[in-house]
């Protein structure tokens, strides 16, 4: 297993470098630039700005300087739109917020989704099954851009129970609505995958053998059925976790959380190359990391898998 992890890490480094180069080239090939405005800047002012940020250099030189700054100093450079702030500062301010509500949303989606799926599979075609499936379908048709304003309307404007915006690490009331809005649709998908996988496992031969030996039903479910039923769920959770902890622009806009989701979209609209690259590298690195974690969990859950 250790050798497999080393091989994956050896492949991850050139993959991440290729992602950086391709993203850098594609951004610079798009028309316009970070200083392109409705009212054109004087040519001398534009030339001075390009020279200050190194945009007047050949593209290969810009890529080399950018890669050297990351590898040697872990420096993503200054923001073009916010000249008094660096990309490292913007990510350091927004990512902890996004990581907090993203991780809580992930935990909420996994716990509730797996529980609904298991209950629905065990009590197939019963009231509990119909209720769990109904909750899943209802959650699936309410994406976060629909759920967020509904939560604000109900819990803030009508009931006055929760703050309608802002963020505080010390006050859990600010966490509730972002977590529910972000995790609900993922929870529904996890519940559907868990139910279908659990039904397939419960009909397998080793489950019938365990029941024939007189093993209690709760031990059959927890010890013999749950782990293999979670394999498809685990494969789904890897990219889901990355998408949750790297932010949702809808959550950041509706609840004014200050996460990096809105910063990423603003950087794309403003052509802030440095911020776009910083968030892109963050997402790419986390995707590679958690895909590796998913593969390791596969081997832990299913002993038949060997790397």
Phi (first) and psi of residue 272, to 5 degrees? -85, 90
The pLDDT score that the predictor gives to residue 197 is 92
Question: Is the confidence at residue 66, as pLDDT, over 80?
Answer: yes
Burial class (CB in 10 A: 0-12, 13-18, 19+), 63: middle
Q: What is the pLDDT confidence band of residue 120, given thresholds at 50, 70 and 90?
A: very high
**Residues 6+ positions from 208 with CB-CB distance below 8 Å:** none
Answer positive or negative: Cα dihedral of 285, 290, 293, 295. Answer: negative
Highest mean pLDDT out of 141-145, 198-202, 234-238: 198-202
Answer positive or negative: Cα dihedral of 279, 282, 286, 288. Answer: positive
Question: Is the confidence at residue 19, as pLDDT, over 90?
Answer: no
The pLDDT score that the predictor gives to residue 115 is 93
For 203, other C-beta atoms within 10 Å of its C-beta total: 9
Q: What is the pTM of this model?
A: 0.86
Question: Is the confidence at residue 92, as pLDDT, over 70?
Answer: yes
pLDDT digits (tens, 9 = 90+) for 136-149: 888 888 888 888 88
CA distances from 231 to 82, 103, 213, 227 (A): 45, 21, 26, 7
pLDDT digits (tens, 9 = 90+) for 207-229: 888 888 888 888 888 888 888 88
Torsion angle defined by CA atoms of residues 26, 27, 30 and 33, in that order, rounded to the nearest 10 degrees: -160
Pairwise pLDDT comparison (170 vs 36), residue with the higher score: 170
Name residue, tokens 């297993």: 1
For 111, other C-beta atoms within 10 Å of its C-beta total: 13
State the Cα–Cα distance between residues 73 and 68, nearest whole angstrom: 8
State the Cα–Cα distance between residues 269 and 250, nearest whole angstrom: 16
The size of the chain, in residues, is 307
Question: Is the confidence at residue 38, as pLDDT, over 70?
Answer: no
The pLDDT score that the predictor gives to residue 303 is 67
For 4, other C-beta atoms within 10 Å of its C-beta total: 14
Token representation of residue 67: 């890669």
Provide, rounded to the nearest whole percent, the portion of the chain with pLDDT above 90: 18
Nearest to 165 by CA among 180, 150, 177: 177
Answer positive or negative: Cα dihedral of 296, 298, 303, 307. Answer: negative
Q: Following DSSP, what letter does each residue of 112-131 receive, concatenated?
A: HHHHHHHHHHHTTTSHHHHH
State the Cα–Cα distance between residues 126 and 136, nearest whole angstrom: 15
Q: How far apart are the first and last CA of the chain?
A: 6
């Amino acid at each position: 297993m250790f050798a497999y992890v080393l091989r994956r890490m050896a492949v991850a480094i050139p993959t991440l470098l290729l992602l950086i180069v391709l993203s850098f080239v594609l951004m610079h090939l798009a028309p316009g630039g970070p200083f392109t405005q409705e009212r054109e800047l004087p040519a001398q002012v534009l030339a001075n700005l390009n020279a200050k940020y190194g945009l007047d250099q050949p593209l290969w030189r810009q890529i080399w300087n950018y890669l050297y700054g990351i590898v040697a100093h872990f420096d993503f450079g200054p923001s073009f739109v916010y000249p008094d702030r660096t990309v490292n500062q913007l990510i350091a301010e927004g990512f902890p917020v996004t990581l907090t509500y993203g991780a809580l949303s992930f935990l909420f989606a996994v716990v509730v989704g797996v529980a609904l799926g298991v209950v629905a599979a065990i009590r197939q075609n019963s009231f509990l099954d119909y209720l769990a499936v109904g909750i899943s379908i209802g959650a699936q048709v309410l994406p976060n851009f629909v759920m967020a304003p509904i939560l604000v309307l109900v819990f803030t404007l009508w009931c006055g129970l929760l703050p309608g915006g802002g963020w505080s690490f010390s006050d859990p009331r600010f966490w509730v609505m972002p977590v529910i809005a972000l995790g609900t649709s993922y929870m529904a998908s996890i519940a559907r995958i868990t139910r279908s996988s659990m039904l397939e496992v419960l009909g397998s031969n080793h489950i019938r053998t365990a029941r024939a030996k007189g093993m209690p039903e709760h031990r059959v479910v927890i010890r013999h059925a749950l782990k293999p039923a979670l394999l498809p769920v685990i494969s789904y959770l890897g990219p889901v976790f990355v998408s949750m902890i790297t932010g949702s622009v809808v959550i950041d806009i509706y609840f004014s959380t200050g996460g990096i989701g809105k910063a990423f979209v603003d950087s794309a609209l403003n052509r802030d190359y440095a911020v776009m690259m910083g968030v892109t590298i963050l997402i790419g690195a986390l995707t590679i990391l958690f895909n590796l974690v998913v593969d390791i969990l596969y081997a832990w859950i299913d002993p038949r898998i060997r790397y």
